[in-house]
Chain A
Amino acid sequence: MLKRLFIVFASSLIALGASITASQADKLTLYCSAQEDWCQLLARSFEDATGIDVNMTRKSSGETFAQIRAESSNPKGDIWWGGTGDPHLQAAEEGLTMEYLSPMRDQLHDWAISQAESSGNRTIGIYSGALGYGYNSDILEANNLPVPACWKDLLKPEYKGHVQMANPNSSGTAYTTLASMVQIFGEDEGFEFMKGLHKNINQYTKSGSAPIKAAGRGENTIGIVFMHDAVKQAVSGFPINVVAPCEGTGYEIGSMSIIDGARNLDEAKMFYDWALSSDAQNLALQVNAFQVPSNRSSETSPSAPDMSQIQLIDYDFRKYGSSAERKRLLQKWDEEVSVLPQ
């Protein structure tokens, strides 16, 4: 028995040694914060287009930001693609990402460029998505609830225990919601809205898209999320209807940044330019990603929410993406809203 144990032990030591021999070949390390299949497709297509080996890791934008910050003295990643814009802006603010002016900039929508400008050209917009909500039509019917159409509809007492949103302390989506309400209604009325909403909320989830997933499974009725997440549920076959609120709404800009101190800087720049091309952005259609691409000549999926029909507010990314304002709003929400009885 002992002999066998020792053989097992020895062979595992040898394997341990073998597993650390990493190759030193030229390649690109991509941190990707969008959905898995989109990331995979993007990495493989870039490999096909350029012959550069892509090492892709998919993590949520918050996790990626934490990792880039932890690795800052010895960066392992080259480029960070996707995920909501706020952590990208934050990374730019902390100097974790580097400035780059792409030759592709003249092909982009204005909102993508303004995202770049508000960060000192350390990040750029690659897609955008509007905030809204989705509801499970089966449950709405079963409970004889009216169909909501505006933000203020969600304050109606009959929706008590039927609305879900993420906790703004943990989710970028929910922070965008909070900041949007402050911008739509003004700060005082915006917080009054959040207090009213608080009475109807059945759970503040941790992750941003969880409310609509819960609604899809029938665990919840109305989920406040980005509309492309809600559309995805509907396309997957869940009984979800998507609502673009009548008062207008805020939006996110999915972004891309080159990590400061990237080991493969040339490859990172190649990827950056390529990712802004319409060819690369059209890949979204193959993986049911319903965001609006930033290249003006890219195609948009027919199921995607029609941005021209949605009343978008003039979202101030520079102000509401800054750490000071974020901290202030979150603290106010913590002290004035989250402690109220439900």
Chain B
Amino acid sequence: MDSDYAPAAFLLVQGEKLWLSPVLILLAFPITLISLRKSDPLYARGLILIGGIGFFWLFAQGFAIGIRGYNFSWLESLFGDLGDRQFGMGYGAMLCAVSFLFLFTQGIAARGTVGGDIFVTGAIGGVIVIVLVFVGYPIANMLFSAFIDDGGEYSISVFSTKFFDDRLWGLACLSGGRCGAAWNSLFLAIIVGFTTTMLGLAFALVATRSRFRYQRSLRALTVLPIITPPFVIGLALILLFGRSGSVTVFIADLFGVQPTRWLYGLPGIMIAQTLAYTPIAFLVLIGVVEGVSPAMEEAAQTLRANSSQTFQTVSLPLMRPGIANAFLLGFIESMADFGNPLVLGGNFDVLSTEIFFAIVGAQYDQGRAAVLAIVLLCFTLSAFYAQRAWLGKKSYTTVTGKGDAGVHPHLPRGLSIVVITIAVIWALFTLVVYSMIVYGSVVELWGVHNTLTFKHYITAFSVRIEDSGIRWSGAAWDSFWTTITIAGIAAPLTAAVGIVTAYLLTRKNFAGKQAFEFGTMLSFAIPGTVIGVSYILAFNVPPIEITGTGVILVVSFIFRNMPVGVRAGIASMTQLDKSLDEASLTLGANSWHTFRKVILPLLKPAILAALIYSFVRAMTAISAVIFLVSAEYDMATSYIIGRVENNDYGLAIAYSTTLIFVMLTVVGMLQLLVGRVQIGRRTLQGTEVRV
């Protein structure tokens, strides 16, 4: 058997790679503890020791011995030349690591930590380890490069020159010049966070609490931008509002002025991002708006509050967790967005594109990219803490196990008119943009020759029936199937990790919870470009060698999108009264049972949101993906960008349109599969129905 790929047990029997033997010995050790009682201190101590040492040894040997023998010169001077090598870890190592980890957490639980709950300690340990390995390690790796100068030495001065650069912090725009990228990004993110939250709230209110008749189509419409591949909205906006865009030209003719390039820069990015991220705010807010207990509102009304007082003093304050979360997501999304500033940015430089071009541009300055990433990270983290401060320590619990029947009151009339108007205008705007996109996929050459044709779809998705079966001869099929598979694998995993994390964060108290929460949010606050590069740097070499495989894509999606699952989960779970868990626990169920039978079913909207979001993001993400795709695993978005670069707008848009329809189908199927939440509430007619 090839000694580079054989299982460790095989090798050890043959007397090879003896540094792996402690792993095996330690794995066998717990058998000696079986006879002990769980309450025996020796049992706990033994498990902690075995798990801890085994886990440590597994990774220590992985880092110490690589493809060229010892990785560190001091090891070589200590033990001499190794004369052997090893490649990345495989499934066996993964299984070993998991076993050691759970032995360790079992030991911790046996000592009575977190109520001695095996499920909770195991879950905490698991999430901590995967976040450390797939977020902490690569990011730390990358950020260190901010302090490395051209000669490869560490130096603070390199960092400070790059950090205090005028291109970053310049304030010339106050006096007619151009401002630094850091200010631009911050300004843009605040505006976008604000507008998306407002629009999302308006949509959520219209969808749940108004007499508006087309609620369903409105709901469907708001999902559209979220399933749109990058660049497409930007291209459609250019076609409408650009220098030669139809709207710009029409208005210019009307008033007899020269058409201008007003779209390029802040206005363009802002419109595109608002279009793209309003649905995220909507998805977060709708769960919260629906979750506000009608009982509270009815109580207010019984106390003679009129509908607008009820809304202002009861409903709105109860929606605060949702509003804060929506703002945070909009802010971070805008900060990290890469596609829209690239197409519509003009001379308005933002951090995300600067980072990309610091790495791939003519400068090849990875240190500068790392510095910019640090700045970006500081902004997003400050937003994160500001959000927490605003929410404070108030209780937003409204779904309790006690009498929770009732009907949401309608909005006060004045407000209702305002939100419906906003929603309708925005919906019409979205419709126009999307009809431009569909139109763009069926014309010969966008904006020049407007003859209708299906040739772009045929080039991309033609299928030939041959004797040997179906031949997928279209140019897009390869990347299409890869994308579907990878997104399909990543979505449930993301949702699972996200919801479990949210459960731990809201329901359990343990030491280091703050740091834990910070760690799980970290990957979201870091732009994809940085993630992409840091993943190549970290995972191209043993012990974890996964570049060029599909796994690295799946992993990057899980950790990029997990925070949304976490946020959605937290927002919904803060509304579920703890007494529900307590009731289940007092009746003898353990944490795992309670989580599965009580919490999870009530979290359906959050699970659905996490599933949909992660699937869709996996299909439309670009900034990290562009670094991680390989010949075998090419993704749709990187393919589309290639077409856009090559001026093949027709094909790019046809492909994007197809993706939009595919995602619509998948989202619909997910809705059916997961089902809707069943909170027993009255309808207007007074009979109980399943909502």
| Chain A interface residues toward B at CB < 8 A | 1-2, 4-5, 8-9, 12-13, 15-17, 19-20, 22, 29-30, 35-37, 40, 55-60, 62-63, 65-67, 69-71, 73-74, 76, 86-87, 90, 139, 143, 161, 167-172, 174-175, 202-204, 206-207, 209, 213, 216-220, 232-233, 236-239, 326, 330, 334, 339, 341
Residues of B within 8 A of A172 (CB): 362
Residues of B within 8 A of A238 (CB): 445, 448
> What's the minimum C-beta distance from B140 to chain A, rounded to whole angstroms?
16
Nearest neighbor of A58 in chain B, beta-carbon distance? B642
Stretch in contact with the other chain, from B117-125, B217-225, B600-608 = B600-608
Contact A219 B347 (CB under 8 A): no
Nearest neighbor of A216 in chain B, beta-carbon distance? B647
Residues of A within 8 A of B563 (CB): none
Residues of B within 8 A of A170 (CB): 357, 361-363
Contact B647 A2 (CB under 8 A): no
Residues of B within 8 A of A209 (CB): 645
Q: For window 513-563 of chain B, which residues contact chain A by CB distance below 8 Å? A: 533, 536-537, 540-541, 545-551, 554
Tally of contact residues, B, Cβ under 8 A = 76
Nearest neighbor of B535 in chain A, beta-carbon distance? A70
Flag whether B632 is at the interface (Cβ < 8 A): yes
Given contacts A169-B361, A203-B264, 12 further A-B contacts (CB under 8 A): A4-B674, A9-B493, A12-B488, A19-B554, A29-B631, A36-B646, A57-B634, A60-B360, A87-B364, A90-B364, A206-B342, A217-B242
Flag whether B64 is at the interface (Cβ < 8 A): no
Question: Of A17, A76, A169, A330, which is within 8 A of B630 by CB?
Answer: A76
Residues of B within 8 A of A1 (CB): 601, 604, 674-675
Residues of A within 8 A of B242 (CB): 217-219
Residues of A within 8 A of B79 (CB): none
**Interface bits B357-387 vs A (CB < 8 Å: 1, else 0):** 1011111101000000000000000000000
> What's the minimum C-beta distance from A41 to chain B, rounded to whole angstroms?
11
> What's the minimum C-beta distance from B188 to chain A, rounded to whole angstroms?
17
Contact A206 B601 (CB under 8 A): no
Q: How far is the CA of A57 from the CA of B243 in the complex (A)?
A: 35
Flag whether B277 is at the interface (Cβ < 8 A): no
Indicate the member of B261, B631, B632 with the most A CB atoms within 10 Å. B631
Say whether, besides A62-B360, A63-B626, A330-B362, A217 and B447 are in contact (CB < 8 Å): yes
Residues of B within 8 A of A90 (CB): 364
Contact A236 B493 (CB under 8 A): no
Flag whether B216 is at the interface (Cβ < 8 A): no
Query: What are 11 inter-chain pairs, A to B, with CB distance below 8 A?
Result: A1-B601, A4-B673, A36-B639, A62-B364, A66-B360, A67-B627, A70-B537, A217-B446, A232-B647, A236-B647, A330-B363
Q: How far is the CA of A202 from the CA of B261 in the complex (A)?
A: 9
Question: Of B177, B238, B362, B489, which is within 8 A of A62 by CB?
Answer: B362
Q: How far is the CA of A165 from the CA of B195 in the complex (A)?
A: 33
> What's the minimum C-beta distance from A56 to chain B, rounded to whole angstroms?
5
Flag whether B340 is at the interface (Cβ < 8 A): no
> What's the minimum C-beta distance from B557 to chain A, rounded to whole angstroms?
11
Flag whether B67 is at the interface (Cβ < 8 A): yes
Q: How far is the CA of A231 from the CA of B642 in the complex (A)?
A: 19
Contact B536 A71 (CB under 8 A): yes
Please name the 4 residue pairs, one residue from A and one from B, whose CB atoms are nearest each other, closest first.
A218-B244, A55-B631, A170-B361, A62-B360
Question: Of B67, B486, B496, B629, which is within 8 A of A57 by CB?
Answer: B629
Residues of A within 8 A of B46 (CB): none
Nearest neighbor of B176 in chain A, beta-carbon distance? A341
Q: For window 601-642 of chain B, which residues contact chain A by CB distance below 8 Å? A: 601, 604, 607, 626-627, 629-632, 634, 639, 642
> What's the minimum C-beta distance from A174 to chain B, rounded to whole angstroms?
8
Contact B631 A237 (CB under 8 A): no
Say whether, besides A70-B536, A70-B540, A2 and B361 are in contact (CB < 8 Å): no
Q: For window 57-93 of chain B, which residues contact chain A by CB distance below 8 Å? A: 67, 91
Say whether, besides A171-B361, A219-B238, A219-B243, A20 and B448 are in contact (CB < 8 Å): no
Indicate the member of A17, A63, A67, A220 with the most B CB atoms within 10 Å. A67
**Interface bits B294-324 vs A (CB < 8 Å: 1, else 0):** 0000000000000000000000000000000
Residues of B within 8 A of A30 (CB): 631
Flag whether B228 is at the interface (Cβ < 8 A): no
Flag whether B485 is at the interface (Cβ < 8 A): yes
Nearest neighbor of A201 in chain B, beta-carbon distance? B347
Say whether, besides A217-B447, A218-B244, A237-B449, A169 and B493 are in contact (CB < 8 Å): no
Q: How far is the CA of A66 from the CA of B627 in the complex (A)?
A: 9
Contact B533 A217 (CB under 8 A): no
Residues of A within 8 A of B359 (CB): 62, 66
Q: How far is the CA of A4 from the CA of B674 in the complex (A)?
A: 8
Residues of A within 8 A of B673 (CB): 4, 8
Question: Of A57, A168, A233, A326, which is within 8 A of B647 by CB?
Answer: A233
Indicate the member of A66, A172, A239 with the most B CB atoms within 10 Å. A66
Residues of B within 8 A of A167 (CB): 357
Residues of B within 8 A of A22 (CB): 548-549, 632
Q: How far is the CA of A218 from the CA of B629 in the complex (A)?
A: 33
Residues of B within 8 A of A4 (CB): 673-674
> What's the minimum C-beta distance from B601 to chain A, rounded to whole angstroms?
7
Residues of B within 8 A of A5 (CB): 492, 600, 607, 674
Contact B493 A16 (CB under 8 A): yes
Nearest neighbor of B68 in chain A, beta-carbon distance? A73
Say whether, besides A71-B540, A238-B448, A217 and B645 are in contact (CB < 8 Å): no
Q: How far is the CA of A56 from the CA of B630 in the complex (A)?
A: 8
> What's the minimum C-beta distance from A52 to chain B, rounded to whole angstroms?
13
> What's the minimum C-beta distance from B133 to chain A, rounded to whole angstroms?
16
Indicate the member of A19, A29, A87, A175 with the most B CB atoms within 10 Å. A19
Q: How far is the CA of A195 from the CA of B642 in the complex (A)?
A: 33
Say whether, besides A30-B631, A169-B357, A86 and B243 are in contact (CB < 8 Å): no
Q: How far is the CA of A132 from the CA of B530 in the complex (A)?
A: 34
Say whether, besides A57-B631, A76-B540, A203-B264, A20 and B550 are in contact (CB < 8 Å): yes
Q: How far is the CA of A48 from the CA of B285 in the complex (A)?
A: 56
Residues of B within 8 A of A219 (CB): 238, 242-244, 261, 264
Contact B675 A73 (CB under 8 A): no
Residues of A within 8 A of B642 (CB): 35-36, 58
Say whether, besides A13-B493, A218-B447, A66 and B264 are in contact (CB < 8 Å): no
Q: How far is the CA of A36 from the CA of B172 in the complex (A)?
A: 41
Residues of B within 8 A of A204 (CB): 347
> What's the minimum C-beta distance from A8 to chain B, rounded to whole angstroms?
5
Q: How far is the CA of A169 from the CA of B607 in the complex (A)?
A: 44
> What's the minimum C-beta distance from A334 to chain B, rounded to whole angstroms?
8
Question: Of A66, A73, A161, A236, which is within 8 A of B541 by CB?
Answer: A73
Residues of A within 8 A of B258 (CB): 143
Flag whether B209 is at the interface (Cβ < 8 A): no
Q: How far is the CA of A20 from the CA of B496 in the complex (A)?
A: 21
Nearest neighbor of B347 in chain A, beta-carbon distance? A203
Contact B67 A74 (CB under 8 A): yes
Indicate the member of B91, B548, B601 with the most A CB atoms within 10 Å. B548
Q: How far is the CA of A30 from the CA of B634 in the complex (A)?
A: 14
Contact A12 B540 (CB under 8 A): no
Indicate the member of A60, A216, A217, A237 with the most B CB atoms within 10 Å. A217
Contact A8 B492 (CB under 8 A): yes
Nearest neighbor of B175 in chain A, beta-carbon distance? A341
Residues of A within 8 A of B447 (CB): 217-218
Q: How far is the CA of A181 from the CA of B602 in the complex (A)?
A: 67
Indicate the member of B172, B446, B448, B493 with the most A CB atoms within 10 Å. B448
